[in-house]
């Protein structure tokens, strides 16, 4: 079994995060928690690469569509008027295609972050997917006010600065997808002996 101190998660700083000069701030927040960056690279990716990064199963796309429908219902927007359909699967596919465009619109920074409960800890640092709902003190809450209602009206993905694996299955897929084992490093942070 993997050591509890060595749980790994994948982080992408998205093109808006790069263009807004937030690389250093994001890494600072990760390191401040005692989490360790063990692989790091800036890349320009293709639409095909992003297509393979996000899950393709119907349940994931459906969930994405449901999220938009939830937003529309909350703000009294008619999905048929806005997007031409109220079918969650169709809307999910639309949103997925916008994400692919968003993540290929400029370079990304990809990294592997390791530490105690790294997956949940990094998600906590990110905050809610939708910046308008993200708590202050989180990366998305502190640096963005984008909302799904606004993003959908522009037929684009919500700009939320950072991607982080949601669960162990996603982390396993994404780590192997973006890095070879040789590109992932092992070192000890100075404070490990004192913190744990
Ligand atoms: P994450 O794991 O927090 O990134 O969220 P998801 O996996 O649910 O969604 C993937 C990405 O799709 C998000 O990071 C956003 O960039 C985008 N996104 C999610 N929900 C919506 C939505 O309702 N509308 C739009 N336009 N984009 C969305
Ligand atoms: Mg996700």
Query: pLDDT tens per residue, the chain (196 residues)?
Result: 678 999 999 999 999 999 999 999 999 999 999 999 999 999 999 999 999 999 989 999 999 999 999 999 999 999 999 999 999 999 999 999 999 999 999 999 999 999 999 999 999 999 999 999 999 999 999 999 999 999 999 999 999 999 999 999 999 999 999 999 999 999 999 988 998 8
Helix (H, G, I), strand (E, B) or coil at 92: helix
Looking at residue 121, what is its pLDDT? Answer: 98
What number does the ligand 1 atom closest to the CA of 68 have?
Answer: 23
- Does residue 7 contact residue 167 with C-beta atoms inside 8 Å? no
Distance from CA of residue 153 to its chain's centroid? 21
Looking at residue 109, what is its pLDDT? Answer: 98
Q: Does 120 contact ligand 1 (Cβ within 6 A)? A: no
Provide the 10 A C-beta neighbour count for residue 35: 23
Domain 2-184 in CATH 3.10.20.30? The answer is no
- Indicate the DSSP class of residue 133: G
Rounded CA gap, 47 and 54, in Å? 11
| Ligand 1 mutation pick, 51, 99, 133, max ligand atoms within 8 A of CB | 99
Q: Does 92 contact ligand 1 (Cβ within 6 A)? A: no
Q: Does 138 contact ligand 1 (Cβ within 6 A)? A: no
State how far the alpha carbon of 133 is from the alpha carbons of 21, 138, 154, 160, in Å.
23, 11, 19, 11
Looking at residue 80, what is its pLDDT? Answer: 95
Q: Does 129 contact ligand 1 (Cβ within 6 A)? A: yes
- Indicate the DSSP class of residue 135: P
Catalytic positions are: 163
- Indicate the DSSP class of residue 1: -
Would you mind telling me the total number of residues written for the chain in this entry?
Answer: 196
Looking at residue 196, what is its pLDDT? Answer: 86
pTM for the structure as a whole:
0.96
Residue 162 β-bridge partners: 13
Looking at residue 195, what is its pLDDT? Answer: 87
- Indicate the DSSP class of residue 134: S
Beta strand residue intervals within the chain, DSSP E: 7-13, 36-43, 108-115, 162-164
Which phi and psi (to 5°) does residue 148 adopt?
-65, -30
- Report the separation in Å between the CA atom of 1 and the middle of ligand 2, taken as the mean of its atom positions: 25
Domain extent listing, the chain: 2-184
The dihedral built from the CA positions of residue 105, 165, 48 and 41, taken in this order, carries a sign that is positive
């Amino acid at each position: 079994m993997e050591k509890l101190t060595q749980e790994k998660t994948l982080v992408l700083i998205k093109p808006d995060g790069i263009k807004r000069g937030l690389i250093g701030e994001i890494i600072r927040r990760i390191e401040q928690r005692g989490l360790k960056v063990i692989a790091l690279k800036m890349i320009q990716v293709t639409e095909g690469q992003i297509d393979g990064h996000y899950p393709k199963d119907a349940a994931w796309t459906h969930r994405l569509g449901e999220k938009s429908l939830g937003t529309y219902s909350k703000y009294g927007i008619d999905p048929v008027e806005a997007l031409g359909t109220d079918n969650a699967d169709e809307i999910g596919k639309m949103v997925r295609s916008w994400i692919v465009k968003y993540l290929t619109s400029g370079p990304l920074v990809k990294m592997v972050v390791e530490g105690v409960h790294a997956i949940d800890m990094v998600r906590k640092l990110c905050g809610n997917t939708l910046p308008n709902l993200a708590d202050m003190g989180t990366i998305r809450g502190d640096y963005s006010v984008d909302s799904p209602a606004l993003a959908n009206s522009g037929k684009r993905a919500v700009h939320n600065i950072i991607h982080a694996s949601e669960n162990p299955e996603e982390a396993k897929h994404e780590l192997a997808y973006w890095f070879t084992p040789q590109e992932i490093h092992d070192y000890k942070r100075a404070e490990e002996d004192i913190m744990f």
